Amino acid sequence: MALILRTDGSQSPDRWLREPRNNQYKDKILKLIKEREWIVGIICVLLIGATYKFRANDIIMNISSIEFVLFIVWFLCFFEIKNNVLYFLGQHGFSIFILQRIPAILITRHISFEGGYKYPIILIDFVITIIISVLFDLVLDKVDKRFVAMIEGIRKS
């Protein structure tokens, strides 16, 4: 809630990162990655490969996950992916993540996965999740704006 209130109701991570206290290491990390681009890339790949066999261990799996994120950051420092579908999914990523289980639970309780219906059910689940997520984001945006207006009204008085 504090993040939402600090950014005037917007959940955009770009606005959050503009605050100096939230991005104090961003420029240093990006400079390091861009100066030593292939060395950092090779190190990321080697670390992911080295931890692959031991990923059953929770600590190693966590380290491997962090390494994978670092590899994605490294990759995106040099390549730009422009795709409307990925942009749309990125805009609603958090709500898709938190709401994905609702349609899945409801569908699996009422529909059997036996037979040839597995992939159509997965597609229906995905479409319902997207619709719920977009609606959730629209409602949350309106609620956030009202809360911010209410809090600013309290501060002014």
Name 23's Cβ contacts closer than 8 Å, sequence gap at least 6: 17
pLDDT digits (tens, 9 = 90+) for 58-114: 788 888 888 888 788 778 777 777 889 988 888 898 899 999 899 988 888 887 767
Of the pLDDT bands very low, low, confident and very high (cuts 50, 70, 90), residue 23 is: low
Q: Choose between 40 and 22: higher pLDDT.
A: 40
The pLDDT, as a whole number, for residue 7 is: 45
The pLDDT, as a whole number, for residue 4 is: 44
Of the pLDDT bands very low, low, confident and very high (cuts 50, 70, 90), residue 11 is: low
Q: By percentage, how much of the chain surpasses pLDDT 70?
A: 84
Average pLDDT in the 137-151 region?
Answer: 91
> In whole numbers, what is the pLDDT of the chain averaged over residues?
79
Distance CA 146, CA 152 (A): 10
Name 133's Cβ contacts closer than 8 Å, sequence gap at least 6: 92, 95, 96, 99
Q: Residue 135 half-sphere exposure, CB side, CA atoms within 13 Å?
A: 7
Average pLDDT in the 40-66 region?
Answer: 79
The pLDDT, as a whole number, for residue 14 is: 57
Average pLDDT in the 113-138 region?
Answer: 87
Domain boundaries, the chain: 81-157
Q: Does 55 have pLDDT greater than 80?
A: no
Out of 1-10, 120-129, 147-156, pick the least confident.
1-10
Name the burial class of residue 46, with classes exposed (0-12), middle (13-18) and buried (19+) by CB atoms within 10 angstroms of its CB: exposed
